[in-house]
Each structure stands twice: as C-alpha cells, then as structure tokens.
Amino acid sequence: MNQATMEQVLKDAEVALGHLETEGALEAWYVKYFGRENGEIGKLLKTIPELPPQERGTVGKAINQGKQALEAAYEERRGRVASAAMQEQLRGERIDVTLPARGQLGGSIHPIMAAKQELIDLFAYYGFTVADGPEIEDDWHNFTALNTPTDHPARDAQDTFYLPDGRLLRTHMSSVQIRAMESGKPPLRLIMPGRVYRRDDVTKRHYPIFHQLEGLMVEEGTTFAHLKGLLTALCHELFGKNRRVRFRPSFFPFTEPSTEVDVECPFCGANGCGTCSYSGWIELGGAGMVHPNVLEAVSLDPEKVTGLAFGMGIDRVAMIRYGINDIRHLWENDDRFLQQF
Ligand SMILES: [Zn+2]
C-alpha cells in the first residue's frame, strides 16, 4: 500500500458518509469501514507492518487521524439523520389543536316514546292517569273477561303468540283495563300505553310488536257524548283545531255501541294523498261504551255505572305526526333514521 491508496480510502469513506440519509445506510457504512472482520480501516492498519520501518510511524499516525476524523463525522451524521427522522415523525403525528372537537353523539327521544309522552300529557289534562300491567297475560284478562267468545278469531294461534303453559303475549291493552277495574273502584279515568303482540307478517304497515294506548273512563252517568267530546278534543290537539272528526259504526266484542274514529287527513286537507290512502281520512282507532258483560265480569253493576273505552296505535300516531311512511323504520335502529329526531 502506498500513501495515495490510503488517502483515497479515507477520502472515499468521507464522501460516501456525506450522502447517507437513513440509519440503515449509516449502519452499512460503519460495517464497511469499521467492521472487525473486513473493515477497510482495519485492512489499512494491517498493512503497516509491511511498510519500511521508517515510514510506519508516519503512516500509522495518518491512518489513526483519518480514523478518528471519520468516527467523529459518523457520529455527527448519525445525529443529524436521527434528528431528521424525528422531525418527520412529528410532522406526521402533529395534533391540530384548531380542529373542531368530534364530540359525542347526543341521544334523542325515539319517535314512539315522543308520541307516547305527548298522548299521556294530553290525557292528563282531562284527568286520566297511567295504568300498567304485564306483557305476558292469561286468557281471562286478555280474552274471557272481555266478552271474547272461545271461537273468536283473535284467540286463534294464527293471531296470537301462546306460551307452552297456555299464557300468551297480550294482543291489546284491554287486558290492563280488566286489571284496573278488578283492583279499583269507579270513578276511574285511566290510560294504558304499552307494547302488544300479534302474529303479523312484517310489512310497511304491520309489525308483530306495536304500541297501543287504550283508555277507560268508568263513572256514573258516562255517555257516548263524553266519548265523542273527549276523542274530538284529542284529535284537535293532535292534528289541528279545524280538523273534522267522524265516528263510524263498528263492532268490538267488548264495547256496545262501538265506533271507529277517523280524523280529516292533515297532510292533504281531505283531498286524498299517500298518507291517507287517498281517502281524505286517517283512522285513529276504535272506541265504544264498555259492554255490560265486561262490567259484570269485573263485578260492576251496568245498571249503576257506565263506561267508555278507546284504543289507538301509538306507532300510528308517531308515523302521522312525523311523516314516517314505513313502520319498519321504527324498529331497525338505523342511525340515519334516528338522528332526524
Ligand atoms: Zn291525505
């Protein structure tokens, strides 16, 4: 080895070092020049004994100086690369404190519960309080006490969910009317909002679970005029003061006389639209005077007290109030739907 070769090796190492940008490349460079087995610097040092004795000192000193300079340059370069990597990482992870906070999704009242509460508030004004009962009911409270003969289609397993022990999921809130009349004495003014079950196929307008609100008023001197006045006032509160309300003769086993209650469609002014099936009227529910047989079933004397009863679908009221055209939306828990309320 001559002086020129030695200087070239040191020069090449210095130039190569100046181009390194990553820790991986730095490591490779270090192994190439300072590796214990085949490092270039080591190789240079090994050639010293082959030199003429008078040159050994000078060359050895020069190699060691070059070695120290390269090590210092290496440390400096390594520091700069690490610092650049850190800066890069910080840029990627930077927190922009000026971004608006994501916040938490606020909950809201489900439309069924909102309609239910609105109805409870309206009836409270007329002195009605809320009564409750079990969702798993016995035959007596759901059918027999309600003047529903054993061959009535409502008892059919096609329409009702029966449990193995003969009990059933209540098909209407009328069962709570019976319980209320069994446990309380007239005068009674009660509403029963709750969940009821029928074996319906799932369609736009039907669902096997739905919500009903039934009402019961049992007092001496209660007449059909009270029934009409009460439900007309309710329709006006719900759908507007000038809406016409009509009562159509109907049949229910537990009321006599019985009526269907319709209100003029608030969406089309009774001209006909999709919501009212182009009839101009919306069916609110059924009503009537409590059948004497029902009063007798709960040990009341129909000659002394009379009663009025009514029922309506809470889901239906919610759909009309909020313009919901498919009952399934009420059950699917789709955020895109629920966030509108
Ligand atoms: Zn209409």
pLDDT by residue (tens digit) across 129-168? 999 999 999 988 998 888 887 777 767 766 889 999 989 9
Do both 14 and 144 map to the same domain?
no
Contact 278, 272 (CB under 8 A): yes
- Name beta bridge partners: 137: 168
Residue 324, domain member (yes or no): yes
Residue 97, domain member (yes or no): no
DSSP β-ladder status, 209-219 and 306-313:
antiparallel
C-alpha 206 to ligand 1 mean position (Å): 20
Cα-based distances in Å from 97 to 30, 91, 104, 186, 336: 42, 14, 18, 66, 29
C-alpha 269 to ligand 1 mean position (Å): 7
**Phi/psi at 226 (5° precision):** -60, -40
**Phi/psi at 187 (5° precision):** -75, 135
Residue type, 300: L
For residues 315, 320, 322, 327, the Cα torsion angle rounded to the nearest 10 degrees is 40
Q: How far apart are CA 224 and CA 234, in angstroms?
A: 15
C-beta neighbour count of 161 within 10 angstroms: 16
Say what the pLDDT of residue 219 is: 93
**In b/e form, how buried is each residue of 277-307, taking b as 16+ CB within 10 angstroms?**
eeebbbbbbbbbbbbbebbebbebeeeebbb
Range of the domain at 172: 111-338
Say what the pLDDT of residue 158 is: 67
Do both 136 and 84 map to the same domain?
no
C-alpha 324 to ligand 1 mean position (Å): 13
Counting as low any pLDDT under 50, the low residues of the chain are none
Residue 217, domain member (yes or no): yes
Number of domains in the chain: 2
Contact 326, 204 (CB under 8 A): yes
Say what the pLDDT of residue 157 is: 64
Say what the pLDDT of residue 154 is: 62
Say what the pLDDT of residue 1 is: 63
For residue 73, give the nearest of 4, 5, 15, 3 by alpha carbon. 15
Q: How far apart are CA 216 and CA 128, in angstroms?
A: 9
- The burial class, CB within 10 Å (0-12 / 13-18 / 19+), for 89 is exposed
Residue 101, domain member (yes or no): no
Token duo for residue 188: 């009674």
C-alpha 264 to ligand 1 mean position (Å): 8
C-alpha 323 to ligand 1 mean position (Å): 11
C-alpha 279 to ligand 1 mean position (Å): 7
Q: How far apart are CA 159 and CA 145, in angstroms?
A: 19
C-alpha 186 to ligand 1 mean position (Å): 40
Residue range 252-279, pLDDT digits in tens: 888 999 999 998 887 788 888 877 889 9
3-state class (DSSP) for residue 122: helix
Say what the pLDDT of residue 260 is: 96
C-alpha 282 to ligand 1 mean position (Å): 7
Enumerate residues 6+ apart whose C-beta is below 8 A from 18: 77
3-state class (DSSP) for residue 213: strand
C-alpha 278 to ligand 1 mean position (Å): 6
Do both 161 and 16 map to the same domain?
no
Query: Domain boundary at 92, 126, 143, which?
Result: 92
C-alpha 267 to ligand 1 mean position (Å): 5
Say what the pLDDT of residue 276 is: 80
Do both 136 and 172 map to the same domain?
yes
C-alpha 330 to ligand 1 mean position (Å): 21
